[in-house]
Amino acid sequence: MSENRTRFRLDQRRAPIYEALEQFRQMRVVPFDVPGHKRGRGNPELTAFLGQQCVGVDVNSMKPLDNLCHPVSVIREAEELAADAFGAAHAFLMVGGTTSSVQSMVLTVCKRGDEIILPRNVHRSVLNALVLCGAVPVYVNPEVDKRLGISLGMKREQVAKAIKEHPNAVAVLVNNPTYYGICSDLRAIVKMAHDAGMLCLADEAHGTHFYFGGGSLPVSAMAAGADMASVSMHKSGGSLTQSSLLLIGPNVHPGYVRQIINLTQTTSGSYLLMSSLDISRRNLALRGRQVFHQVADMAEYAREEINAVGGYYAFGKELCNGNSVFDFDTTKLSVHTLDIGLAGIEVYDILRDEYDIQIEFGDIGNILAYLSIGDRPQEIERLVSALAEIKRRYHTDGAGLLSQEYIDPVVAASPQEAFYAPKKSLPLRETEGMVCSEFVMCYPPGIPILAPGERITKEILNYIEYAKAKGCSMTGPEDPDILHLNVLA
């Protein structure tokens, strides 16, 4: 490749997939291929809903537009630009969400029987991957903040102990950050993993903006030396829902990763999703540092105003302790609600139903308002005012409210072994002491309360019933009403 060509490809003002689609649109090609709506003509209601501009570029892979399964032209250029923007050795455009990125990451490093060290408060996509490949989790159970009821990061000494006790583990996986914005000491964990001959993987579903923090936000996985990172561009990066990036460092073979991705990812990659990744990467590369500085400032202002209301606790960097909370993502607006006598999910419902404000999630004790590149100060003011009014109208005694979000699991079998084992369905309360063979979780955030292979305890059953009664959106089991659970026969 010539030096001029290299400079041309690394010009972050370019968006090669978007440019190729624009050129294709102007050519007025007659379509005798899929999709069958034929640029929207065959589905006028869909065209009216989404617009001709959108359905006109909902096209299939073809030579001028490259192929996601084996990119050689514009998609490859877009991946190289993404790798450059994020400081990675290679980047993969993912159209199956960050779930697909996380699963590809785990499947790349793990095979049946391998051990992988990870915190238990991972997204279900991590455990799904273990079901698929047969790897065995070695859990580093996180500490819990007693006041907030939330799980924290992994302590350095916990990781060191797990590595020492499981020297044949293939990798350490880290949340960077957690849903609540809490970060472990990623640089130290990367070094420990590498010193032991292991890889380090990062779930950065909620950390896209770390790559454009300019030192004011926690360290990104690639900057910390991690080997692979799953980056949810559609969350804080501005791309369309279900679009994501998988980043790798220099010690991982990109050709093998592509083969792993192609095991599960669609062969009909959406050009709407890919072009949104391309355009969003360009936007972040050119303006991300300035934009995320403003987002962090808005979040800090919101924290101050919400805490001034009283009763609520919008937590921030004061949680940092140098270890289990090594750093905090200041763009995360997480608010503890129990002191006004309401569960987080109750505040979530009131905000939506009575104030037309949709926040990211509410759980047993907290809410999360997700701030990113599209937020404006006037919306922050509206949220603060609504929370103040909710406190005035609904403040009550909080006696009897649960606070603990995280319960340490008792692992009795590997996720794959339990998922595929003979099973039986029992009424919820009759499952105490049994081994679960399916997932149970509140979504969002999608962190399992129970995963296949874990023993069901009275504490867990109390939590499930309480979360259901409070209105948490429960997912996972075969029984949609979660009146029964599948357990090992």
> Which helix (DSSP H) or strand (DSSP E) does residue 143 occupy?
none
- C-alpha dihedral sign at 345, 371, 374, 304: positive
CA distances from 206 to 24, 51, 281, 299, 445 (A): 34, 30, 16, 15, 11
pLDDT at 399: 79
Q: What is the DSSP letter of 119?
A: E
Are residues 225 and 199 in contact, defined by beta-carbon separation less than 8 angstroms? no
Q: Which of 333, 407, 332 is nearest to 364 (CA)?
A: 407
Q: CA torsion 102→83→250→1, rounded to 10°?
A: 140
**The whole model's pTM is what?**
0.94
CB atoms within 10 A of CB 350: 19
d(CA 94, CA 100): 7
Q: Which of 123, 158, 179, 186 is nearest to 326 (CA)?
A: 186
CA neighbours closer than 13 Å in the CB half-sphere of residue 284: 29
- Residue identified by tokens 């949680």 is 319
pLDDT at 4: 37
- Residue 383 tokens read as 């949220």
Peptide bond into 444 cis (omega under 30): yes
pLDDT at 22: 94
pLDDT at 446: 82
- Relative to beta strand 228-231, strand 244-248 is antiparallel
Per-residue buried b or exposed e for 284-304, using 16+ beta carbons within 10 Å of the residue's own CB: bbeebbebbbebbebbbebbe
d(CA 469, CA 463): 10
pLDDT at 5: 38
pLDDT at 360: 96
Domains defined along the chain, listed by start: 52-285 (3.40.640.10), 288-394 (3.90.1150.10), 415-488 (3.90.105.10)
Q: What is the mean pLDDT of each run of 10 residues along the chain (489 residues)?
A: 44 96 90 91 94 93 94 97 98 97 98 96 95 96 90 96 98 96 98 98 97 94 98 96 98 98 95 98 96 96 98 98 98 97 96 98 94 94 98 91 80 95 96 96 86 95 91 91 95
Beta partners for residue 248, in sequence order: 90, 228
CA distances from 435 to 143, 232, 243, 410, 461 (A): 24, 33, 35, 9, 13
d(CA 27, CA 22): 9
CA distances from 429 to 112, 350, 471 (A): 33, 30, 19
Cβ neighbours of residue 80 under 8 Å, at least 6 residues apart? 9, 10, 91
Q: What is the DSSP string of 403-441?
A: --------B-S-HHHHHHS-EEEEEGGGGTTSBB-S-EE
310: left (phi over 0), alpha (psi -120 to 50) or beta: left
Are residues 282 and 13 in contact, defined by beta-carbon separation less than 8 angstroms? yes
pLDDT at 3: 36
